[in-house]
Structure 1
Amino acid sequence: MTDKTELIKRYIFLLVGLFVNGLGVSFITKAGLGTSPITSIPYTLSLGFTPTVGMFTLVFNIFLVILQVILLRRNFQLQNLLQLPIIALFSFFIDLTMSLLGFMQPETYAMKVVSLIVGCLILGFGVFMEMVANVAMLPGEATVRAVSDVFSTDFGKTKIAFDSSMTIIAAILSFIMFKHLDGVREGTIVAAILVGFIARLFKKYIGGIEKILIS
């Protein structure tokens, strides 16, 4: 009974974390200085087509799950399919928070930077909540893990290469669709550097919250 209660608490924590993640992504995007690396392709596509950032995020992450199946083959476990409802919720939360932040239109560059930093703090806390919940990974991280396992590479270095690849592909798509860079800017690089660092700081200084709220 205790194990079931703890598992329920962890999934609730994950659910809240997904909302916080969506809010963080939306805050960064609304800053107008680019978006987070993992969202860069969906966001760039949403600038040129009708579907929303959330819708493109859902489709893109389903593609990542399929990529995991191809990479892992027999080692792909059925529990990894939990990524599908999780990413569906995450995509919904992105669209929801983008709508809630519809009023947010920072005009000066200073305000854009402030919005970007606030977004990184929010997203970093959301990532920290995922780490504390420790029940499932989003497709982005799960794909990095799959590549790391199959090719025996370091997870951290593979993560950097993955994020860099997403950003480069988004930039190429931007030039193809708009003939100039749109959707990928300096904020994308800042988010790539800050979010993981902030999540680790939360883990270091308030990681004990897991014992209080969950265990």
Structure 2
Amino acid sequence: MKRTELATSGRDADNRGNMAQHRFLDRRDAGEQLASRLLSLHPWPSTTVLALPRGGVPVAYEVAYALRAPLDVFLVRKLGLPGHEEVAMGAIASGGVRVLNEEVVRRAGVTPQALAAAEEREKAELARRERAYREGRTPAPLEGRTALLIDDGIATGATLRAGLKALRAFSPARVVVAVPVAPPEVCHALRAEADEVVCLLTPPDFMAVGQFYRDFSQTTDEEVRALLAGADSPGLA
């Protein structure tokens, strides 16, 4: 993997003076700190780093660079419960994977028509992102490997939980979640669904992911493409 340098607004001396109130300068800085923690835990052989786009990509790029692991995006779209879209009734992912929370669907009385409509909407966005980000590249290998799933932080965890269920369909040997920041209760709950969870910060005063970043400006499609293009896969361990 070669180092990709992108212009970021959070890496000057003035920003470093704000670390007392913002733990991370930007997503790249968060990725460097997260990578340092991961390397201190144990070796990471046969690992594929997966980023939840878009914000998870700059974080995951730094982790993949440090671990000398292949980087890919894990394209997953939550199927939100009609009228309560923050509640995941399932998810779809690359490769035609669909998982449903049958209990949520049953209790909410979601009709097959409503489910199909939600799925069609999310399929369209999934296809758009597939074209925009992969640019014809083959997905990184997952079967029999450690899948290290990374985002820039977790708020409720609904999308990430849906992604975990979808990820299991690709038969990885282990699934690990690693994020710079998450509420302590969410981080704890994820341990029941992943083989390992690494949350760099679990602040009790958590309100939003962005409060812990000096620069939390939106990651663009162009930045995602540049980082993925710069992530040349090293020899797979």
Answer whether TM exceeds 0.5 for this pair.
Answer: no
The structure richer in helix per residue is: 1
TM-score normalised by structure 1 residue count? 0.29
The structure richer in strand per residue is: 2
- Larger RCO (alpha carbons 8 Å, 6+ apart): 1
TM-score normalised by structure 2 residue count? 0.27
